[in-house]
Amino acid sequence: MVAEFACPVIIRPQTAGSPSRTPFLLMYRKTLIEHRLLWGVEPSPETVELTRLTGEEMALYDNLRSGSLGERVRLEQERIGFDYLVAALSTL
């Protein structure tokens, strides 16, 4: 599980009214996979149940918790380049 990748996900359900209305770049599978070379290891994986994720976000969160993408995958948001962010936002 990803602390830096998942912490925003844990915060999001508590702050967002409707998960389907707000795109969440950090919980896109594409973002995680495209930054595979930047993955680290999460020392304290999260396993809490989250109820306000979209179906796609929940599937990714389940993959992270189960380790199916790798053991204790961690992607720090600071490692995602600004150009990637701008390109992703331009598609919304």
What is the extent of the structural domain holding 73? 3-90
DSSP string, 9-60: HHHHHHH-S-GGGS--GGG-HHHHHHTGGG-EE-SS------SSS-HHHHHH
- pTM for the structure as a whole: 0.71
Res 48: pLDDT: 84
Res 18: pLDDT: 54
* pLDDT tens per residue, range 35-89: 999 999 988 887 888 887 888 888 998 999 999 999 999 988 889 888 988 888 8
Res 54: pLDDT: 83
Res 77: pLDDT: 85
Total of domains in the chain: 1
* pLDDT tens per residue, range 18-40: 555 556 677 789 889 999 999 99
